[in-house]
A and B are shown apart, each in its own frame.
Chain A
């Protein structure tokens, strides 16, 4: 028999017992639909977190943190070393400018950007209300998603980039209206004690900086920082902390579009100097590992549904073989060979798998955008650009393929049974 004949016969035979076929397809549909949805959810979340992580990690940047005594090395728990105490005045391991100088010497490093700990008091536009904020350094090669304006050069000391929620809060009509406007950010310094011992006078020096809004950040869950030029941050850090400034991390940049090998070499050099270091890829990997565990668990549920559906297919086909014993006998009498009979039933099972898969994926892809739409107006209103369900076509095709594979596996046993029937016995069967 030719392939189109097999396919046609399979569809014809499936239509003989419409309800039974429908129920069998339905069982498989539940599995493939679940799988389509978990895949869509997994893909959506992975894509979203990737964008989020890219928003706060930068390419061509290696984040260096202080050495940890509790480093989880594969060689087990390290022995205590009294000379390697990590307890510093700050309580936690911190980095200092001395560390910056050490890291500077690593080949290929083009810049060192400590995470200056600067506490601003407020931000103010004109004579409007004052609002609290958090500031961070705008490193070169930062990949920030802006909704308005453009990313200023990291040497532009009079520039700032503000998070989207500040636009309305500070009283601008919209993001575009905020661009080019000057805002004031107020900082307090270390308290200074003067006067006499008996009558000490404590004064807190303060400092205002005037910065021009050059860009407005897209609204993301993770990034609510106001960006300032690194040199401004350094000045402010000195102002607030004096020369004893400590950082919990230092960002090392390499030339733009550096190879992974370069990044890894710098990372290795930093580790060799006794620090902990990670590339953006490391951060992404850690998060995605966690996500893939969740995804696997969800897929497991779909797998259980598919397994149940598979048993349903076996059952349906065993019944079909019984009912059609005479027909099988006739086909054999007319010269259909064993593999022909086998094919007849297997194609029927594969067809059930195909329809079940197509229905599951089809319905998933049909209601996915609706769910995305509803969620983006309700639960995930803050997360602009988050598509919770993403249906990549190759994956969806693979799910349909999986349905067909399940059909094939389920159909093999009944089909083999049918193919072994003796034509005479089959014809005599009344």
Chain B
């Protein structure tokens, strides 16, 4: 469902040019879980950004369900991200002034889903990540683990086809990280969502169906 063909990504121009990706091709199946591992600076984050339509390749193509992301306008890519993708970031990126519930519903708010529908969905999502009692709390009042649970619920809000998780346990201690990983894989399996995880965490990588190692902009 996600297909990359000979993707190159170059930052800068001429003598300052830096090639982050040097010809990456890969094919991710529906419902698969894939870990992308590699050292920092290996190009793994760039790869994820390009797969998720947050960035565009310099050359090569990215296709989602047979449709090329590169041929889309910025607006169309935004719609794809909103409807098909979910994101979990290392830094959570919760909106500090919004409540837990409002944070979770952000993708639906952006889409323009009616308030009634959003409310219904919020209840399901809060229950799924075990934060029903925190619904009205401000996002800033939560612990790291709770914040990442909110982020996972937010990533699930639009029932995405793919969840991209960028170092989801990077800011969490082992025990809490473990519970977050468990939650992430639970939702992946229950919802048959494709999961793409960028990580250095070996334990996390091993739980995925497939592990891709990236080094100097190439998949080994």
Whether B81 sits at the interface, judged by CB under 8 Å, is yes
Tally of chain B residues near chain A (CB < 8 A) = 29
Name A1-22 residues within 8 Å CB distance of B: 1-2, 4-5, 12-13, 15-16
Cβ of B93 and Cβ of A337 under 8 Å apart? no
By secondary structure, the B interface counts as helix
Q: Are B97 and A326 in contact (CB under 8 A)?
A: no
A100 to chain B, nearest CB (A): 78
Residue contact A424 to B49, C-beta cutoff 8 Å: yes
Please tell me which one of the listed residues A4, A334, A337, A424 contacts residue B106 in the complex, with CB atoms under 8 A apart.
A334
Q: Which of B156-194 touch A at CB < 8 Å? A: none
| A424 to B9 CA separation, bound complex (whole angstroms) | 14
Cβ B75 vs Cβ A423 within 8 A: no
B142 at the binding interface (Cβ < 8 Å) = no
Report the separation of the CA atoms of residues A15 and B98 in the bound assembly, to the nearest whole angstrom: 11
Residues of A within 8 Å of B106, CB to CB, are: 331, 334
Question: Does A147 lie at the interface of the complex (its beta carbon under 8 Å from any beta carbon of B)?
Answer: no
Scan A160-195; emit 1 where CB is below 8 A from any B CB, else 0.
Answer: 000000000000000000000000000000000000
Residues of B within 8 A of A2 (CB): 109, 112, 114
Report whether B79 and A335 are in contact in the complex, using a CB–CB cutoff of 8 Å. Answer: yes
| B82 contact set on A, CB distance < 8 A | 334-336
**Contact among B75, B83, B87, B96 with A333 in the assembled complex (CB-CB below 8 Å):** B87
User: Judging by beta carbons under 8 Å apart, are B54 and A423 in contact?
Assistant: yes
Judge whether B93 and A5 touch: CB under 8 Å.
Answer: no
Q: How far is the CA of A373 from the CA of B96 in the complex (A)?
A: 49
A338 within 8 Å of B (CB atoms): yes
Q: In the complex, which residues of chain B have a beta carbon less than 8 angstroms from the beta carbon of A369?
A: none
The docked-state distance in angstroms from the alpha carbon of A13 to that of B98 is 9
Inter-chain contacts of A335 with B (CB < 8 A): 78-83, 85, 107, 110-111
Return the contact of B55 from the options A4, A5, A340, A424 (Cβ within 8 A).
A424
Give chain A interface residues in 375-430, CB to chain B under 8 Å: 423-424, 427
Which interface residue of B49, B95, B112 has the most chain A CB atoms within 10 A? B95
Cβ proximity bits A260-288 to B, threshold 8 Å, 1 near / 0 not: 00000000000000000000000000000
The reply to whether B107 and A5 form a contact with Cβ atoms under 8 Å apart is: no
A-B contact list, 15 entries, CB within 8 Å? A2-B114, A12-B98, A16-B97, A329-B93, A330-B89, A330-B93, A333-B54, A333-B87, A334-B82, A334-B110, A335-B83, A336-B110, A340-B110, A424-B54, A427-B89
- Top 9 A-B residue pairs of the complex, sorted by shortest distance between their CB atoms: A335-B82, A330-B93, A335-B81, A337-B78, A336-B110, A335-B78, A334-B107, A12-B97, A423-B54
